[in-house]
Amino acid sequence: MKEQTIPYKIYLDEDEIPKQWYNLRADMKNKPAPLLDPETMQPMTADKLRTVFCEELVQQELDDTTPYFDIPAEIRDFYKMYRPSPLTRAYYLEKALGTPAKIYYKFEGGNTSGSHKLNSAIAQAYYAKKQGLRGVTTETGAGQWGTALSMACAYFDLDCRVYMVKVSYEQKPFRREVMRVYGASVTPSPSESTAVGRKILEKHPGTGGSLGCAISEAVEAATSMEGYRYVLGSVLTQVMLHQSIIGLETKAALDKYGIKPDIIIGCAGGGSNLGGLIAPFMGEKLRGEADYRFIAVEPASCPSLTRGRFVYDYCDTGMVCPLAKMYTLGSNFIPAGSHAGGLRYHGMSPVLSQLYHDGWMEARAVEQTSVFEAAQLFARTEGTLPAPESSHAIRAAVDEALKCKETGEEKTIVFGLTGTGYFDMYAYQRYNDGEMTDYLPNDEELSRGFDGLPIFDS
């Protein structure tokens, strides 16, 4: 077929915003292992989960057979404020690389929170409101999730309490202020305000905190206050379900022009954007209808998929959340302070972990200076200042495009550009000043994380 001229940006119409989310688990023969109750080590019951999470979100979390969930009209209305998001052909990046590959990116940074996290934040806030709750608690690392949730809570008039990893709280004071503009209260974690926070501070005085430890604090706060529940911005399968909007829109846009991707790439922290982006394509692959290569890209300093173990582990440092079977570095693993921004989580979505384990997906770890090099090239060619997290995907897309240059193959590469990097200028500054270093945890450091894995027959 003669190639049509592909516009720089492929937009969908408003009425082409998907009306349902897609639940990838429905098409998996090997389902992800059930969440376990940390007290009994038995599969977590809906009743127990309801004490921590919102009612309807619990149902979504546990449902691994229903392929599609209707997106409520109230959520679709909110989506219209910033969706559909553009799918852009990276003509200028391709030209700079001199590659025959065709590169597309799905940009999720076109809202004030600056990332894809708003897609799930608005869904979670909606279900909390529908249940008649007063508010929600959560943790935030780099700050994007906290910002997204603050926006969503403001829209539905819910109280929002955010535990922010202390290093980020100190490095990104303006992130905190954005959350406060939207009415959230923000506490640096670990804090003295929870029992688990006090315990962690006693054990690790002066620690800059971690996501796992902020999660423990947020869960404790939610379960000790009337009318509150805890919400989470990644890792859980309900989050991936909401993020499937990214992949569904991407697929609709590509289908408009009859484009079939060969390689789909996403950065992987807890796995929600990657899982959402690849979901409908992976569904086709699982059903034997099409074939694609999927690449998860993670930081070499926090390499859960490429160097972690596929076992049951705690989702948080305080061991109050359910256990999940996933690729993990151990919930005690605290990434090096020199690591920039997000993607610091010790574990990975149980769905993606299972798919990776079964060979449906590839993973690679990249070092941060090479990530920022790719980020700079992208900013200079495509214009958008990418988030460091997203730049992991850019790195892999550039590397794949350079391989095509060697072999002369005209592959079509799609990657997720999850957000913008305006709040990451401290990291960019270190890169610009030549002060950024690469940090690879050695086996000894990793084994310290593995030593903290729960021991039981699973």
Ligand X SMILES: *Cc1c(COP(=O)(O)O)cnc(C)c1O
Binding footprint of ligand X on the chain (CB under 6 A): 115, 117, 144-145, 234, 267-274, 342-343, 387, 389-390, 418-419
Q: How far is CA 211 from CA 110, 208, 317, in A?
A: 25, 10, 8
Task: State the nearest-atom distance from the C-beta of 341 to ligand X, in Å.
Answer: 8
Cβ-based nearer residue to ligand X, 146 or 190: 146
Task: State the nearest-atom distance from the C-beta of 298 to ligand X, in Å.
Answer: 9
Task: State the nearest-atom distance from the C-beta of 392 to ligand X, in Å.
Answer: 8
Cβ-based nearer residue to ligand X, 133 or 305: 305
Task: State the nearest-atom distance from the C-beta of 346 to ligand X, in Å.
Answer: 13
Do the bridges between strand 102-107 and strand 159-165 make them parallel or antiparallel, or are there none, so unpaired? unpaired
Cβ-based nearer residue to ligand X, 117 or 285: 117
Cβ-based nearer residue to ligand X, 191 or 234: 234
Q: Do residues 292 and 281 lie in contact, with contact meaning Cβ atoms separated by under 8 Å?
A: yes
Cα maximum dimension of the chain: 67
Say whether the peptide bond before residue 84 is cis (omega within 30 degrees of 0): yes
Cβ-based nearer residue to ligand X, 197 or 342: 342
Q: Which residues contact 281 (CB under 8 A, 6 or more apart)?
A: 247, 251, 261, 264, 290, 292, 294
Task: State the nearest-atom distance from the C-beta of 179 to ligand X, in Å.
Answer: 14
Name beta bridge partners: 311.
326
Task: State the nearest-atom distance from the C-beta of 41 to ligand X, in Å.
Answer: 26
Task: State the nearest-atom distance from the C-beta of 327 to ligand X, in Å.
Answer: 13
Q: Which residues contact 324 (CB under 8 A, 6 or more apart)?
A: 33, 35, 36, 235, 312, 313, 315, 347, 350
The helices-and-strands tally (H runs, E runs) of the chain is: 18, 15
Using CA atoms of 199, 205, 210, 213 in order, give the dihedral in degrees to the nearest 10.
Answer: 0
Residues recorded for the chain: 458
Q: Which amino acid is at 344?
A: R
Cβ-based nearer residue to ligand X, 259 or 366: 366
Residue number, nearest CB to ligand X: 419
Task: State the nearest-atom distance from the C-beta of 113 to ligand X, in Å.
Answer: 8
Cβ-based nearer residue to ligand X, 206 or 383: 383
Residue that has been written with the tokens 């909007």 in this structure? 245
Cβ-based nearer residue to ligand X, 194 or 354: 354
Cβ-based nearer residue to ligand X, 191 or 273: 273
Give me 261's structure tokens.
């991707």
Q: Do residues 124 and 149 lie in contact, with contact meaning Cβ atoms separated by under 8 Å?
A: yes
Round to whole Å and give the CA distance between 356 and 305. Answer: 8
Residue among 204, 75, 233, 216 at smallest CA distance from 143: 233
Task: State the nearest-atom distance from the C-beta of 390 to ligand X, in Å.
Answer: 5
Round to whole Å and give the CA distance between 72 and 131. Answer: 14
